[in-house]
Structure 1
């Protein structure tokens, strides 16, 4: 699996992915405004996850400050035909180990209250449920400090 920053050329296949009813309902609809925002983001990144030359996932992150503000996963999408294969868990692990982000002690993920699938996902991969923040479910994972 390789991670790279999203580029404008990715927009074509992303639009095809979001024709999927579940993906569109959970994370969409996406539009040019979203694309321009993620292409110009300076406080985080939207990453494409590839296996070989095939995009298999998208994941967005906003960087914390390394001390009291955690990094946040803003969205995660798996290719519709690869759902329920364990790929989402591998994508999250890859992002957390990616050398392109600043160091962090904590990660959080915010999930819309009606996105039961994402709630089950974060619990399944071992993230702690922290309640509702800003009308969204909050999940957190602390990273052990290495000496």
Structure 2
């Protein structure tokens, strides 16, 4: 099946139970399975009841094109964290991930003292290139742990 290109306008909606089965089906794709943790029942319960962030279902027209999670800034961290980002496998390599990232950072206007953070596994070179291509920079504490790299994005 050839996927139609998505419109440049994305719609971010709170992830709902109705989105789960379609999103879960994306895990049949090896790249998604390797890059993201599985989304079993505990994950769904967490995102449906989350108070410290939000999980978005991202639509291009009527098509679910992506899913992205955000942890909001808090007293102990003045930044929003992208907890996960996934693109519909039918739309890989079409710029959808970059559109989602740009749309998300524009959707949540952060004050001057706030910024965005994402943590990427050291062996996930594809995600590292993705964030770097989109203007994210490695944080001063490059390695957060042995297996993670911190990326930051500050609006100028």
- TM-score, length-normalised on structure 1? 0.90
1:137 maps to which residue?
Answer: 149
Q: Deviations over 1:37-77 (max 9, x none)?
A: 11111111000110111100011000114895111111110
- Tell me the equivalent position of 2:58: 49
Superposed CA offset, 1:58-112 (max 9, x none): 11000114895111111110010111111111101111111xx463431011011
Cα pair 1:66 1:103 within 8 Å, conserved: no
- Structure 2 CA distance, aligned partners of 1:21 and 1:36? 24
| Match runs of 1:46-125 below 5 Å | 46-65=55-74, 69-98=78-107, 101=108, 103-104=110-111, 105-125=114-134
Q: How far apart in 1 are the matches of 2:155 and 2:132? A: 16
Q: Return the offset for 1:142.
A: 1.1
Q: Tell me the C-alpha RMSD between the 2 structures.
A: 1.7
- Output the CA distance in 2 between the equivalents of 1:39 and 1:112: 25
Equivalent position of 1:29 in the other structure = 38
Aligned residues: 142
CA distance in 2, matches of 1:36, 1:114: 29
> Residue in 1 aligned with 2:12?
3
Write the deviation string for residues 98-128 of structure 1: whole angstroms up to 9, x where unpaired.
1xx4634310110112211101100111111
* SS of residue in 2 equivalent to 1:28: coil
Secondary structure of the structure 2 residue equivalent to 1:121: helix
Spell out structure 1 runs of 4+ moving beyond 2 A: 65-68, 101-105
Kept after mapping to 2: 8 A contact 1:64/1:71: yes
Q: What is the TM-score with the length of structure 2 in the denominator?
A: 0.85
